[in-house]
Structure formats: C-alpha cells, structure tokens
Structure 1
Amino acid sequence: MNLQTEVILCQALSLPVLVENKERIHRDESVTLTITLSKEQIAILKQAQDLIAHAVPEQNWAEAITYLAKKEIQRRTQMRKPKQVATAAGIGIQSDMDKNKNMETDTDTDTDTKKNIKLTNAARDKYQNNTEAKTQFSAHPGRKPLRTSIKKIVLNHDKCCQFKDLLTGKICGSTRFLQADHRQTVWAGGTNDLQNLQMLCSQHNQHKYR
C-alpha cells in the first residue's frame, strides 16, 4: 500500500489522527523516535532535505536532521572571525585576543612588530591579487561568478529542475541536487542576467554539456 492509498483510505473511513511522540532507547544507546508531523511540518522538512542533498545525498531522515542540527549549533556557537584593520603597511588582521594583549602589556614589542610586518605584507599581497582578479573579471562581465543572492532568487522562482524533454515536452521537476545554469552558455556570450538563468538538477546539467 503506497502513501497516497493510505491517505485516501484514512479520509474515506474518517480515521482519527493518532498523535505519537515516543522515545525508545536501545541496548547500544541508539534511540528510535516516533513523532507525528503536520502536513506543513513534513513539507518544510522535505524542502530542507532537498536543499542539503549535495551534503546528504541519501534520503535518510536521521542523517538530514543531524546535519541540519550541527549547522545550527555551529551558527550559534562559532567564534567571531578576526577583523581586518588598516595599517601603515597595508591591510592587517587583528583579533579580539590581540586587542586585549595590546592593552595589558607592551612587552616583546620588537618580536610583535616583526610578526605584524610579515602579516601585513602577506595581507597586502593577498589584497593586490584579489584586486587583479576582480579587474580581470570586470574585463569579461559574463565570466563573473554568480552571487549567492542571485542563485537564491533563481531557486525561489524555478523551485525545481527546468530541463524540458524535447520529445514529450515534460519538465524534469526534480528538487534535489539543483544547480544554477546559464541558458545561453557564458562562452557563447551568455550573461548573468536573471532571464538567462535557470535551475537544473546535476544530472541534466551534466547532460546539457555532453
């Protein structure tokens, strides 16, 4: 009996909704959870499962929920990244810990100065390399990498793979392993305009360039 058949039978027989929330611990300390989700809740979970398909390829609820939980824990507990500060020698990086040390003591000044010079020189070289790379991209507008915000706009618009079978006219419709694709390829003069972007699943994205 498939899921759709079960739904039809339950509706026809007016069977009550049994809400279960159970936790069963096994000998090896693994746990079996039994929970009841509303239609909206399972839809949200399925959408999240599709969005993380690249990281969790198997449709395994335990793996998907664990992955999402780890991401949320990391987001809420991770330390702040070091801040960039302007210096006479270029662009340096100064963390909160460095600030506290500078306030507490001025010892080992010579050693710290040498380290800062090396750091700022390396940071300045990195900044110059990034500037050169941006200049190269600006000379070829179509070669600019797609911004994450643009990819999200395309995803929210298409919602699924837009590959269309030329024989049947049917659209793929897959919601897993989605990738932003240029309708007219960049090497053929295609741009990053929204009108030239679509979502394809990884299989059809690879098929397009064979």
Structure 2
Amino acid sequence: MGFKERFPRWITAILGIVQLVLTAAIIGLELGSDYIDLAHGTIWIGLWAGIIFIITFLWMLFITCCCRGRCYATYVLILNILSGILACVMIYFDQLFINQLCKCYLGDQLCCAVRGIPSLSSNFSGVLDDCATAISQGTISSRTCPTTPYDKLPLLKAQLACAVGMLVSCGLYVVVFIFACFGICFGHD
C-alpha cells in the first residue's frame, strides 16, 4: 500500500476546512480589534500570521483534490509546522494583551495619537492637540492610553481560542503525515 492510500483525502479535507474557518475568524477578529483601538493591545498578528494561514489551508485543500503524492504532502507539512509556530506566537501575544490591554509597541508619541477608528474619524485634531500638549509638558507617558480598551477583551479571547484551534489542526496534520510515512493506514478513499 502506497503513501496515497495511507494518507486519505477525508483527513486533509476536514483539516483544510477547519483551517479555512479558523483563518477567517482570526483575521476578522483582528480587524474588529483594530477598529476598536489600532495601537493598544495589538501587534496586528492576526493579519500577518493570517497570510501564512491562508497559504496553508489553500495547499491543504489543494492536496485534497489533486497532487496526493508525498512531495506535496511534505510541502504542506512544512507549511503546517510554520503555521503552528505562528499560532504559538499568536497565543503568546493574545494572552499578553488580555492581561495588558494598554500595551503599545509604537512608542509614546504614536501610542498617544493612534486610537480607535471612531475616535480618529471624529476628533483627530483634538487627539493630536492633546498629544502635542503632553509632549511639550513632558507628560506623554501618562497620555499613551487615556482609556483602557475593554471592548477588545472578548475579541482577544476569541482570537486566542482560534489560535489554539489552529495549533491543534496543524499538529493533527503533522501526526497524520508521520503515521502515513511509517505505514500506519487510516483507511481508503
């Protein structure tokens, strides 16, 4: 029995669909979180990790319908390992931001000026004036997070859960691939 027979389509189809749903959720939650507050409690990991997640689930679905050989499955293995690593990074940052919603990596001046999309569109000149005054008075560090963005908390928790789901799905692919390489059969198409 060859590799194709030991590596059934239904497993890659299920994992590919799960990864598709999780990727859409991660990117959507990141966009919602960024809408609430663009600078605090984020490094936009849902967006830049989402690019790799998209490539991974597309290749996962591609090997489900076409190219069932070991070479393509190995390429998808590498993508799943990379996606699993990015899911771990996402888990780290999400739990960090859940505990510190005002954390900002942009520097005091940008953290003061960049807030949520609604506040930027309605009162951007007022925000800039407030930040300029704080800079001139030397109190900029007290203005970097004027209000804690508590609205982001449910979105960050949901993104954390999706990242754990992504890590699990990537890990399952790795296990299935290793089993297929060692000749353990999961069934036939």
TM-score with structure 1 setting the length: 0.30
Instruction: Point out the structure with the larger strand share.
Output: 1
The higher radius of gyration belongs to 1
Instruction: Point out the structure with the larger helix share.
Output: 2
Q: Could you say which structure has the greater relative contact order, defined with CA pairs below 8 angstroms and 6 or more residues apart?
A: 2
